[in-house]
Chain A
Amino acid sequence: MGTAGVSISREEELRRLLAQVNDPELDEPVTEMGFVERAEVRGDGSVEVDFRLPTYWCSPNFAYLMLDGIRKALDGLSWSPAYRVWLHDHMFAKEVNRGIEAGKTFGQIFGELSGDQDLESLRETFRVKAFKRRQEAVLCGLRRHGLTDREILGMDLAALDVVRFEPGEAAKQMPRYRAALLERFPGRRPEDPVFVTSEGAGIPNSALGAYLAELRGVRINMEFNGALCRGLKHTRYKEADVVDGEPTLVDFILDRVPDKARPTQAPLT
C-alpha cells in the first residue's frame, strides 16, 4: 500500500472516530448533523477540523461539549497526530477555540460566566435524555411488533438481541439503546430486565403506557431541536464555500458522493 492508501485509511479512521461524537442535546452524531465542515489529514499526518454550528447563538456549553468530544476522538487516533480544531462563526468562537487548544476545562475558559456548577451535571442530564429517547424508540418498535407489555418488560438481553426490526427508528436506536444500557448499568446481570428507568427501577406492566407518555415528551423536545438545527444548518451551510469544487471528507461523511465518483485517491491531501 502506497502513501495514498495510508492516507485513505487514516481518513477513514478519522471519519469513524468523529462519527462517534454526539450532539449532546440531540443525541445524534455531529457528522450526521453536518456540523463538521472540514476534517482533513494533512500531508505530514496532522489533522485539521473545522466545526460550525447552525447559528451564531447556539449554546456555548453545547459547543464546548461537542468540541471536547472531538478533542477526545482525535486523541484516540492511532498515529497520534498533532491536530487543530476551529469553531467558526459563533459568538464565543474566540474564547472556545483558544481554550480547547490549550486543553482547558469549560470553567477555565469561561471563568465567572459559568457559575459554580460543573458541566458534569449537564452531561448527566443529556445522558438521561439520550437513554430515554433510545429506549422509547425500541419500546414503541416492540409494541408495533405485536408484543404485549408483559412480554416486552419481561425481556432480558438475550431476548432483546434476537429481535430484528424493519429498517426505521427502532432499528436505528436498538444498538444505541443497548450501548447506553450497558454503559449506564455496568453491574447488571444478564438475566436482568432490559427495560428499566434511567434510575434502574423496574417498570410495572400496568404502567408502561404512562411511562411511554413521559418518554414521548422527552423525544418531542429533542426532535424539535433536531429538526430546527438541521433546517438552520442546511440554510447556513448553503453559503459555505466549496473547496475547489471537489468533494471533501465532509461529503463522504454525509454520503453526498455517488460511489462511481469516489476517487481512488484521498479526497484531500
Chain B
Amino acid sequence: MFITPEGKEIFVVDGHTHFWDGSPENQRNIHGKQFVECFYAYHTALSPREQLWEKSKFEKYSADDLYRDLFIDGPDDVAIVQSTYLKDFYKNGFNTVERNSEMAKRYPERFIVNGSFDPRDGQKALEYIHFMKETYDIKGVKMYTAEWNGASKGWRLNDPAAYRCFELCEKLGIKNVHVHKGPTIIPLNKDAFDVHDVDYAATDFQNLNWIVEHCGLPRLDDFCWIAVQETNVYGGLAVALPFIHSRPRYFAEVISELLFWAGPEKILFGSDYAIWTPRWLVEKFWAFELPEDIKQERGVDLTPEIKEKILGLNAARLYDIDIEAKKAAFARSPFSIAAE
C-alpha cells in the first residue's frame, strides 16, 4: 500500500517482478554471465546512487530480500512474478515457474506467478501449458521471443506453433500474455526491435490481453499505433519508469505519448524488480507532474486519478483482483521475515 502525502491509500499492483538465480554456480556458459551482467548494467545505469546493490546480491537474492523490498520497505500490495527460463544460459533456468511458485507460497495472497513456454518445443509446449495450469493455476504467461533455443535465436508471436499455444491458453483461461519486446537476434540484418507481431496476435486472439513490456521501447511509435488499433493491447512501464529519476523530462515525453495514444486505462506499473526496487519508483511517480509545455502540446495530463489507475487499478482489472477482499486477506497474514 502506498500512502500519499495527503494520506490517501493507493493500491499497488507491481506488474513486472522477478525472482531469479543468475549466480555463477547457475550460469551454464558465457551467455549466462553476460545476461545477468547486462541486467546489472541496467540497474547501475538508471538507479539512484543510494539504491545500488552489490553485484553478488544482484546475481542471487533471497526470498526474504524480495518480500522486504516489495511489500515491507516497498509499497507493493500484489506482485506479478514473471517466469523466464533461459535454460540455454542457466543450468536450472533463470527463474522458472517452479522456483517462483516456491518463493510465492509463503504469502500466496501477495503473488500472481505467471508461467512461460516456448512454442518451438511443439507438443511439449502444449503439455507444459496444461501442467502449469493444473499445478499452479496460472492466469498469465510471459513470452520471451528473443530467447535462444538450440540453433534458433528467436521466434515471433504469429508463428503457427505459437498460435497453437495461444489457442490452448484461451481455452484454459490463461488470458494475460506479457510480451517482452527486446532485441531479436535473427535475421541479423533487420531493425533489431520489432513489435509488429503483437498486432497480428492481438487481432487474432481478441479474448487474450497483450501486455507489451517496456511499451515496445525503443519502438514506442509502433507500439502506440498498435495500442490505438487493438483494444486488448496494454503497455508495461518497466524500464521506461526509471528514467523519471535520471531524465524526468524525457520520461514526461514518453508517458505523454502513452497517455495520448494508448490512454490511461492501458498503462501498467512494473518495477522490473530486482533491476529496480518499487519504493523509489512509486514515490517519484506519485510526485511527478508533467511540464506545462508538454501537457499543452499533447493535451494530456497525469492526474492523481490516472496515477492510481496505472499503479494498480488497471492490472487489478486484468487479473480480476478484488481489492477489498485482498486487503482483508492481508490483514490476516502479516509478514514475518528474517532480520537483516
Residues of A within 8 A of B (CB): 54-62, 89, 91, 106-107, 110, 113-115, 117-119, 122, 125, 216-218, 220-225, 227-228, 231-232, 234-236
User: Per DSSP, are chain A's interface residues mostly helix, strand or loop, or mixed?
Assistant: helix
> Assuming the A-B contacts A57-B183, A227-B247, are A106 and B189 also in contact, with contact meaning beta carbons closer than 8 angstroms in the complex?
yes
In the assembled complex, the CB of A184 is this many whole angstroms from the nearest CB of chain B, namely 20
- Chief secondary structure at chain B's binding surface: helix
A234 vs B40: C-alpha distance when bound (angstroms): 12
Q: How far is the CA of A217 from the CA of B256 in the complex (A)?
A: 11
- How many residue-residue contacts, CB under 8 A, span A and B? 101
Compute how far the CA of A218 lies from the CA of B253 in the bound complex, rounded to whole angstroms: 12
What is the chain B residue whose CB lies nearest that of A224? B218
Chain B interface residue bracket vs A: 20 to 34
A-chain residues with CB within 8 Å of residue B153 when the two chains form the complex = 113
Q: Are B189 and A232 in contact (CB under 8 A)?
A: no
Q: Is the CB of A221 within 8 A of B221?
A: yes
Inter-chain contact A114/B218, CB cutoff 8 Å: no
Instruction: Note all chain A residues with C-beta closer than 8 A to B41.
Output: 54-55, 231-232, 235-236
Is residue B53 within 8 Å, beta carbon to beta carbon, of the partner chain? no
Cα distance, A58 to B153, chains bound together (Å): 14
| Complex: A231 Cα to B189 Cα, angstroms | 25
Which of B38, B190, B247 makes the CB contact (< 8 A) with A117? B190
| A220 lies within 8 A of B253 (CB) | yes
Q: Mark B256-300, 1 if CB is under 8 A from A, else 0.
A: 010000000000000000000000000000000000000000000
Do residues A114 and B189 form an inter-chain contact, with CB atoms below 8 A? yes
For residue B319, CB closer than 8 A to chain A, the reply is no
Q: Is B161 an interface residue (CB 8 A)?
A: no
A223 to B190, CA, bound (A): 20
Do residues B220 and A122 form an inter-chain contact, with CB atoms below 8 A? no
Q: Quick one: given A217-B257, A221-B218, A222-B218, are A114 and B188 in contact (CB under 8 Å)?
A: yes
* Beta-carbon contact of A223 and B250 below 8 Å: yes
Tell whether, in the assembled complex, residue A117 and residue B34 are in contact, meaning their CB atoms are under 8 Å apart.
no
B46 close to chain A: CB less than 8 A: yes
A216 to B246, CA, bound (A): 20
Closest to B247 in A: A227
